[in-house]
Amino acid sequence: MLVKILNFGSNWWSRFVRNPEGAYCFSAYAAHYNSTGVRCGSKVRRHWITPGLLRINGVVHFTPSLPESAIGKTFLCADVTYAFGGNRLLFQNKGPKSAVPDCYLVVVSSGVHGRIDFNSNVWKSALAQVVAASQLRNMQEVMLLMKPGDWVQTSAGFWQLNVPFVNNEPAGLVRLGKSLSV
């Protein structure tokens, strides 16, 4: 599956090989993880209500100190699986620049998009897939795989994934209107 990254979650960590003397211990054999989180004082904590993460292996040539360099790029990913108590999305390789993504990685946060009523059956479109979700009191962050036209309902309105036909215009969530029930 080809996934285009529009946002990352706010929680990052890395794992390196056990042999620190290896020549590639900080690059090719590293695994970098991303998930949703909420700020607790000076730290970002997961507080998952739907556990899940992205795994980006070092062979993808991802730079964890500059994650924004991967925004707008398309990657070949395995399908979302459930393992070790949560959803997993493995990034296997970079996709070609001309690749048409199957879906988009989108992060919705309460501070930007408004609060989501997770108890509602209609807080997201049926085909939007939750990778991870975190919530602590009024703070929320949700990582979704979405296709063009998929939507999310928050206290600020309906947000729909808009993918322009022109290549130089970025895809993103567009607010359609004010919601009534959240």
Q: Is residue 51 in some structural domain? A: yes
Q: Is residue 131 part of a domain?
A: yes
Indicate the SS3 state at residue 69.
Answer: helix
How confident is the model over 108-167, as pLDDT tens digits? 999 999 999 999 999 999 999 999 999 999 999 999 999 999 999 999 999 999 998 876
Residue with tokens 């054999």, as numbered in its chain: 29
Number of continuous H segments (helices) and E segments (strands) in the chain: 1, 16
Tell me, yes or no, whether 17 lies in a domain. Answer: yes
What band does 18 get if pLDDT is binned at 50, 70 and 90? low
Residue 170 lies in a domain: yes
Would you say residue 182 lies in a domain?
no
Q: Tell me how many domains the chain contains.
A: 1
96 lies in some domain: yes
At 5, the pLDDT band (50, 70, 90 cuts) reads very high
With vertex at residue 104, the alpha carbon angle to CA 100 and CA 110, rounded to the nearest 5 degrees, is 160
- 53-66 pLDDT, tens digit per residue, is 999 987 677 777 78
Read off the pTM.
0.89
**Range of the structural domain that residue 36 is part of:** 2-177
